[in-house]
Amino acid sequence: MSEAVAARDAALQGRADALDAADPLAAVRDRFVLDDTVYLDGNSLGALPTAVLPRLSDVVTREWGELRIRSWEESGWWTAPERIGDRIAPLVGAAPGQVVVGDSTSVNVFKALVAAVRMAPADRTEILVDAATFPTDGYIAASAARLTGHTVRAVDAAEIADAAGDRTAVALVNHVDYRTGRLHDLSAVTAALHAAGALAVWDLCHSAGALPVALDADGVDLAVGCTYKYLNGGPGAPAYLYVRRELQPRFDSPLPGWNSHADPFGMAPQYAPADGAPRGRVGTPEILSLLALDAALDVWDGVAVADVRAKSLALTDFFLDCVAALVPYGRAEPITPADHAERGSQVSLRCAGAGEVMRELTARGIVGDYRRPDVLRFGFTPLYTRYADALRAARVLADVLAGGPDTTVAAGTADAGDTAGTAHAARPTAVPQETETLDVPEGTT
Ligand SMILES: *Cc1c(COP(=O)(O)O)cnc(C)c1O
């Protein structure tokens, strides 16, 4: 390390120590099972909360093992989807009775979109989707459109508000872009969609649990989100569906399973939908993963989402500063907006050879993920990520990129003034071909 870099590094260490010492959420970290790894993939799979294992152990040994069928009633299994929905509700700005947990996000996108189309006037024949959406949302929207005789139009998320017109039935919008970490203006976009007479369906997968969401206040119609990212519910934890209270009577589910019946045990041949949030249910709830999620939600006790947001922005600011100060110039360019109003809780860096780089980072104890071809993603979960972790991640990234994958300088682009060993040593280099390294987990989502 050159003297200049060493001085910058020391200053950053001082900042990290001061920020960690003043962090109002520092003690919440103890509610998670963590190790020496710097875990920056909570935007794909949240870390394990300590409360989960004892709870699941009790659910399996006593509720299932001893009480067996009685647990549907005596252990509250039957009503768990709504009860746990009401625990998620404050995290998304919803009053009780509007959130139900169950099925995957993909399935809930389907329910929400088809139900929205069925609520919209018949002459509104178009579904708008965010062009850069997480693929499952786009696939499901296309299928929902085919089933309902609608068309899908993909538009840039920033233009969805303007794109909505008198043909638009509904728009499906991501609150935070999974690839870039860009945060969209839920309030303004919802208002614009309503002004155009369209319904707003929001996907909160990358926002709920990381930043404030105000579904009720912003008049959102329907929303979905997953619980295994910032809500730490565990691999494959069930997703949730929000249906605004006034719309619930008009929510006509495309998957009207017996669990959403007004009288499930009446076993009637005719379907009659339940009132309220249970109308969004389908079949028998995933009790083990639901109750793991229930225990995981204990980490929120006494935690204010405003503090989480403040720390998320401070952490991502600090990480961006560390990257700018330590990482060889031009090797990892932020694509996450600098503007706080447009930033979720992850930092994405455009980096040639991202797959190889992430493999090396992981081997050195820094776990993030990457998206093909050239995006490194670092998720910052304010409940357990420390400023010191952000600094360590940037240091290791700097080391990897200084010595890392093939960085052959293209003829004519080398800056002769550079000397190896300074932070800005490796000025624009030839972009190595992306080598797909499928043995490196990309993370699921
Ligand atoms: C994570 C994520 C999903 C995941 O969908 P599953 O059905 O749970 O696999 C969907 N949409 C977005 C935007 C996501 O980020």
| C-alpha 205 to ligand 1 mean position (Å) | 6
- CB of residue 105 inside a 6 A radius of ligand 1: yes
Residue that is last in its domain, among 278, 300, 322: 300
232 within a domain of the structure (yes/no): yes
Establish whether 111 is a catalytic residue.
Answer: no
- Look up residue 224 and give its two tokens: 């979905």
Instruction: Say if residues 113 and 127 touch (Cβ distance below 8 Å).
Output: yes
Residue located via tokens 């989502």: 445
Is the CB of 151 within 6 Å of ligand 1?
no
Give dist(CA 332, CA 349) in Å, integer: 5
Say yes or no: 113 and 247 in one domain.
yes
State pLDDT tens for residues 242-261. 999 999 999 999 999 999 99
Question: Measured in angstroms, how far is the CA atom of residue 137 from the centroid of ligand 1?
Answer: 8
- Pick the catalytic residue from 32, 39, 178, 228: 228
Q: What atom in ligand 1 is closest to the CA of residue 445?
A: 1
Tell me 401's DSSP state.
Answer: H
Q: Verify whether ligand 1 is closer than 6 Å to residue 221 (CB atom).
A: no
What pLDDT score was predicted for residue 2? 84
Residue 229 bears catalytic tag: yes
Q: Which atom of ligand 1 is nearest to the CA of 105?
A: 7
d(CA 93, CA 187): 12
Count of all residues that appear for the chain in the document: 445
Distance of CA 309 to the CA centre of its chain: 14
Confirm or reject: Cβ of 205 under 6 Å from ligand 1: yes
Residue 134 in contact with ligand 1 by CB distance below 6 A: yes
377 in active site: yes
- Are the CB atoms for 56 and 292 separated by under 8 Å? yes
- Note the pLDDT of residue 1: 74
Ligand 1 centroid to 361 CA: how many Å? 25
Q: Which of 55, 229, 281, 395 is catalytic?
A: 229
Q: Tell me if 432 is assigned to some domain.
A: no
The reply to whether 251 and 123 lie within a common domain is yes
Which has the closest alpha carbon to 108: 192, 198, 224, 203?
224
Instruction: Tell me the pairing of strands 240-243 and 333-334.
Output: unpaired
Q: Say yes or no: 75 and 14 in one domain.
A: no
Whole-angstrom Cα distance, residue 110 to residue 170? 13
Domain annotation covers residue 439: no
Residues 125 and 217 in one domain: yes
Q: Is residue 440 part of a domain?
A: no
- In a 3-state reduction of DSSP, which class is residue 437? coil
CATH number at residue 412: 3.90.1150.10
**pLDDT confidence of residue 442:** 67
- pTM of the predicted model over 0.85: yes
The residues, ordered by sequence, that sit 6+ positions from 266 with a Cβ below 8 Å of its Cβ are: none
Atom number of ligand 1 nearest to Cα 137 = 11
Residues with Cβ within 8 Å of residue 303, at least 6 apart in sequence: 25, 28, 383
Q: Is 203 a catalytic residue?
A: yes
Range of the domain at 133: 53-300
The reply to whether 78 and 124 lie within a common domain is yes
* Same-domain status, 344 and 260: no
- CA of 83 relative to ligand 1 center, distance in Å: 22
What's the number of CA atoms in the CB half-sphere (13 Å) around residue 208? Answer: 31
- The tokens of 265 are what? 């045990």
Ligand 1 center from residue 225 Cα (angstroms): 7
Q: State how far the Cα of 251 lies from the Cα of 278, in Å rounded to an integer.
A: 11
Q: What is the pLDDT of residue 405?
A: 45
* Residue 50 Cβ < 6 Å to ligand 1: no
Residue 348 covered by a domain: yes
From the CA of 198, how far away is ligand 1's center (Å)? 23
- Collect the ranges in the chain with pLDDT lower than 70: 404-445
| Residue 210: inside a domain | yes
Q: What is the pLDDT of residues 346-364, one digit of tens each?
A: 999 999 999 999 999 999 9
Residue 220 has a pLDDT of 98
427 is a domain residue: no
10, 133: one domain = no
**Residue 166 and residue 35 share a domain:** no
CB 241 within 8 A of CB 82: no
Q: How many domains does the chain have?
A: 2
> Residue 225's beta-bridge partner residues?
240
Can you tell me the distance from the alpha carbon of 101 to that of 86, in angstroms, rounded to the nearest whole number?
9
In a domain, 443, yes or no: no
Residues 14 and 60 in one domain: no
Catalytic pick from 124, 331, 377, 386? Answer: 377
- Residues 238 and 325 occupy one common structural domain: no
Q: Do 98 and 124 sit in the same domain of this protein?
A: yes
265 and 179 in a single domain? The answer is yes
For ligand 1, say whether the CB of 362 is within 6 Å of any of its atoms: no
